[in-house]
Amino acid sequence: MHMENRIFNLAKHILTAITCVLAFLVVGSISLRETKADAAYQQSLIDAGFPKSYVAKLDALHDKHKNWKFVPVKAIDNWTVALENECEIKRKLVYIPVISLGTTQTLDDGTKAVWFSTPTAWKMIVRDSTTSHFNFKTDDYIRYDSGPWVQASKEAIAYVMDPRNWLTEKFIYCFETLYYHSAVSDANTVKYVNNLLNGTFMYNKACPGAPKYSNGVQYTYAKVIADAAKKYNVSALHLASRLRLEKGTSNDVLGKGVVTTDKGITFHAPDASESGLQKYYNYFNIGAGGDGAEIINNGGKEAYENGWTSPYKAIVGGAKKVYDFYIDLGQDTIYFEMFNVAKPGYLYWKQYAQNLTADLTECASIYDTYETYGLLNRPVTFRIPVYSSMPSSNPRPKSPSGSYFSTANPNCMLKSITIYNGKTKLATLSPDYVFGSNWTYSKVIEVPYEVESVTINMNPVNSTAKKSGDGTKNLVVGNNKFTVTCNSAYGGIYKRSYTFTIKRKDGSTRLKSASSSVGSFTKTFNMDTYSYNLFLENSVSSTKLNFATESAKATVKYSVNGATAVSCTTGVVNAKLNVGHNTVKLYVHHDGSGLPDKTSVYTFNIYRYTPMTMSYTYIQKTDKSSAVVFINGFVVGETLAEAGRRFSFSGTCKWYGADNVLKSDSDLVANGDKISVYDGNGLLYKNVYIILYGDVDCNGIIDYRDYDLMNRNILSTTVQKEAANVDDSTAGITSSDLSMLKSYIEGKGSIFQVR
């Protein structure tokens, strides 16, 4: 009889999800009191065949319960082989929406919870490179059998399957032998069973179809279960916990009875018009495998063939099958019913349930009943599986970030990658949905040369995924390779990179660089700026313009001062310069690779000064690469006419105040005055700025207004700050400068104008 594929209907799934209560409790969460190690007893465990990794926990249990006996049962296959077999598709499932801790625990976010969504770590996402249990395209787990059940992860199966994780006072009962406890009285057995049924439709209720006592009162469910257990040598509490798991708190379709109108071919729940038809009951859901209606049909057929025409007959008949097809064949513990690893001929099949943690729920309910009635210290035999080649541990599953409760979505796939030029869609890529770390698109996306940048938009299948590498990207001519990455909210290996190439066609008519062998343009070169000025001394009679085109296929012609344009293939234009304004033009042409022909024109205005001479005394500082000169050495109170004798130059000049207003010869020389010097052709040659120390307010007079500005540090321009440095022995504005300025104003000191 195969019951491996039997799964339960949706009505009772919420209750059976409680099953996971126990799987989520970390080993040791129900702690034993500290005990003193018994070296002799530990050695006896090793001699009996228990690995050392079992011994400390078994010793602690024995220290508290001297009547407990532990028997090792050698698994047929080693750990790796056994685990791989239990990981076969649909062999072990978990309930996807909610799961129960059984006891209140603190979740990762600090909240207290008993019920919460099943963690992602307990669900199989991808088994290997070819088998996926998560549909990345539809963004959901692949469902198996009836209801929201999904493949359990290998880590979760290993955690539940590892006997060492359950060697605690509560969970040790999944290894208890399932034979009837003859030492317990019949009356007490009924009491214990009824206690275990508390909260269900069977608690303190008469069982339909059951015999009656001499006083006419019908047997209760607890009495029926206890009698069936004794009759077939099965643990009464095992039967009760199994019925609680199968029927839930309020019963299901097979427990309420199904009918057939085609002589046992199909079965269904009766409607009002079929109330007179014979009902068939299946309380242990024996044979009820399949999906949807198959569960009812298969379970109904089992009841029909066995004549289970009442709940009483279904319970008694089911108890016999539990003994005949499990216990009597060596699957005599809850663990071995769930993981058939030690019975030749039945290896890995005929396992009672697909629900991964059903055994833990059952043994916990049994423990609770034993504890309630003070039965924990009675003699019990525990048959515990032992595997060869076990890893050091199989810990509780957790997310890549270390969370035991994370339900983050593992989807790292994209619906699409869309490429835009502004608002114009250039291309849409449809990703492949096979899981893997990278996906490279072999097709190259071509765009015209005019497309200088693109915007890459990523559209994840799941909105919680995190994108990187998208946004606006500049393009060079030729191939531009881009990689974008989609990281799932779950993290870890669940991320996917997508690589694609955008080819920008060649068609550039722009220069990517241009410079002069002498001097510098007045503005920095930019390929999108087409006009530049260059000023050179009269002594420079020629220059070389060096350039490079953005496109290697572009052609260039040039002309100097209006001459006929000629080709240039060297990237250098030799220009002889006249005095005054010279014009060099570069004509950059490209055939456009199929686009209309284009030509861009770059103009270079080169100004060669007339011969210039300048002679002045006491230059404070000059910068030969700049058109700005600072001079000092003037007398406070002298006029422009008087000051003009201190320097001379060829060409013409204009004298402006610090306020940029033109001054006359009778005006006083003041700090910040600007002398603009022009060559013979009227080109600006130099700007010369006057420094008059102490004249902070730039009016040609040194008085307390200057002192006030210095004292309050209201100095906004370079010439003001320089004029305030009246003490040339110090740097910057200090108390020494203020003191010297004050002495000068009071007629007690001097300010040296010559530096």
Token pair, residue 465, equals 């995924």
Q: Strand, helix or coil at 445? A: strand
pLDDT at 325 over 80: yes
Q: Which amino acid is at 551?
A: S
pLDDT at 214 over 60: yes
Runs of H (alpha helix) within 341-445: 358-372
pLDDT at 469 over 80: yes
Token pair, residue 318, equals 């089911």
Q: Which residues pair with 661 in a beta bridge?
A: none
Distances (CA, A) of 700 to 221, 634, 749: 116, 11, 18
Cα–Cα distance between 549 and 556 in angstroms, integer?
Answer: 8
Provide mean pLDDT across the span 366-389: 91
pLDDT digits (tens, 9 = 90+) for 682-716: 999 989 999 999 999 999 999 999 999 999 988 98
Cα–Cα distance between 285 and 298 in angstroms, integer?
Answer: 9
Of the listed ranges 210-219, 496-505, 559-568, 596-605, the one predicted with least confidence = 596-605
Nearest to 548 by CA among 599, 583, 588, 585: 588
pLDDT digits (tens, 9 = 90+) for 653-690: 999 999 999 999 999 999 999 999 999 999 999 899 99
pLDDT digits (tens, 9 = 90+) for 242-295: 898 889 889 999 999 999 999 999 999 999 899 899 999 999 999 887 777 888
Cα–Cα distance between 92 and 79 in angstroms, integer?
Answer: 16
> Residue 103 — pLDDT band, cuts 50, 70, 90?
low
C-alpha count within 13 angstroms, C-beta hemisphere, residue 443: 7
Q: Report the pLDDT value the prediction gives residue 19, as an integer from 0 to 100.
A: 40
pLDDT at 3 over 60: no
Q: Report the pLDDT value the prediction gives residue 592, as an integer from 0 to 100.
A: 62
Burial class of residue 155 (count of CB atoms within 10 Å of its CB; 0-12, 13-18, 19+) = middle
Token pair, residue 415, equals 């619906």
pLDDT digits (tens, 9 = 90+) for 556-588: 999 999 999 999 999 999 999 999 999 999 999
Q: Report the pLDDT value the prediction gives residue 623, as an integer from 0 to 100.
A: 57
Task: Please state, for a pLDDT cut of 90, what percent of the chain lies above it.
Answer: 69
Q: Is-contact 204 223, C-beta < 8 A?
A: no
Q: Strand, helix or coil at 199? A: coil
> Residue 33 — pLDDT band, cuts 50, 70, 90?
very low
**Pairing mode of beta strands 453-460, 471-474:** antiparallel
Q: Report the pLDDT value the prediction gives residue 20, as an integer from 0 to 100.
A: 40
Task: Please state, for a pLDDT cut of 70, what percent of the chain lies above it.
Answer: 91
Q: Which residues pair with 94 in a beta bridge?
A: 150
Provide mean pLDDT across the span 351-365: 86
pLDDT at 28 over 60: no
> Residue 530 — pLDDT band, cuts 50, 70, 90?
very high
Nearest to 283 by CA among 354, 201, 349, 370: 201
Burial class of residue 11 (count of CB atoms within 10 Å of its CB; 0-12, 13-18, 19+) = middle
Q: What single-letter DSSP state applies at residue 179?
A: S
Q: Report the pLDDT value the prediction gives residue 628, as an integer from 0 to 100.
A: 74
Q: What single-letter DSSP state applies at residue 647?
A: E
> Residue 226 — pLDDT band, cuts 50, 70, 90?
very high
pLDDT at 435 over 90: no
DSSP notation for 37-56: --HHHHHHHHHHT--HHHHH
Token pair, residue 91, equals 């062999």
Residue for token digits 């502004």? 422
* Highest mean pLDDT out of 117-131, 308-322, 645-659: 308-322
Cα–Cα distance between 23 and 394 in angstroms, integer?
Answer: 12
Provide mean pLDDT across the span 416-430: 94
Cα–Cα distance between 99 and 123 in angstroms, integer?
Answer: 12
- Looking at per-residue confidence, does 470 or 1 come out higher? 470
Of the listed ranges 472-476, 596-600, 725-729, the one predicted with least confidence = 596-600
Cα–Cα distance between 724 and 87 in angstroms, integer?
Answer: 86
Average pLDDT of the chain to the nearest whole number:
89
Q: Report the pLDDT value the prediction gives residue 113, as an integer from 0 to 100.
A: 67
E strands present in 537-673? 542-549, 555-560, 566-568, 572-576, 580-590, 598-608, 614-616, 619-622, 628-631, 647-649, 652-656
Q: Report the pLDDT value the prediction gives residue 22, as an integer from 0 to 100.
A: 37
pLDDT at 388 over 90: yes
Residue 700: φ, ψ to 5°? 85, 0
